[in-house]
Amino acid sequence: MTSVVTANDLRSGAAVYLSQGGVWVADLDRASVATSAADRQQLEALALAAVERNEVTAVYAFDVAIVDGKPTPTSVRERIRSAHAPTF
């Protein structure tokens, strides 16, 4: 299963995604996608380093599907988080 690594920005609390070069971005489309367990572990290691640097908190990985070449959450929860807004 493909996955991406997310967290909350420490200062704003906003949902952010780990992108290329260990940069945290708000746009899920730009997240680095892990396609193997090893990839995922590598991303998680980068994320934990960012926790140590006090950039983010509450790190975890979640599953995505690739739709039109873009990572797309498979759960409602992650769809809502990635929209950065409630759905009503």
Partner 1 sequence: MYRYDEFDHGFVAERSRQFRDQVERRLAGALTEEQFKPLRLQNGLYLQLHAYMLRVAIPYGVLSARQLRKLAFIARKWDRNFGHFTTRQNIQFNWIKLEDAPDILNALAEVEMHAIQTSGNCIRNVTADPYAGVAIDEIEDPRIWAEVLRQWSTIHPEFTFLPRKFKFAVTGAAEDRAAILFHDVGLKIVKGVNGATGFRVYAGGGQGRTPYVAQELAPFVPTARILSYLEALMRVYNLHGRRDNIYKARIKILVNALGIDEFRTQVEAEWERLDKSAIDLPAAEFERIAAYFQPKHLPPHPHKDPHIEQRRSIDLSFARWLRTNVLPHRAPGYAIVNISFKEPGKVPGDATAEQMEQVATLAERYGHDEIRVTYQQNLVLPTIAIADLSRVYDGLVQAGLHTANTELITDIIACPGLDYCNLANARSIGIAQEIAKRFAEPEAAEAIGPLRLNISGCINACGHHHAGNIGILGVDKKGTEHYQITLGGSPKDDAAIGDIVGPSFPAQDVPGAVEVIIATYLKLRRDPSETFVALYRRLGKTPFREALYGLDRATAADLSEDANV
Binding-site ranges for partner 1 (CB under 8 A): 8, 10-15, 51, 53-54, 57-58, 74-77, 80-81, 84-88
In the complex with partner 1, the residue whose CB is nearer, 42 or 74, is 74
Count the neighbouring beta carbons within 10 Å of the beta carbon of residue 29. 13
In the complex with partner 1, the residue whose CB is nearer, 33 or 51, is 51
Q: Give bridge partners of residue 9 from the DSSP assignment.
A: 56
CB 2 within 8 A of CB 35: yes
Q: How far is the CB of 13 from partner 1 (least distance, A)?
A: 4
Q: How far is the CB of 9 from partner 1 (least distance, A)?
A: 9
Q: How far is residue 53's CA from residue 74's CA, in Å, rounded to a whole number?
A: 30
In the complex with partner 1, the residue whose CB is nearer, 39 or 48, is 48
CB 24 within 8 A of CB 11: no
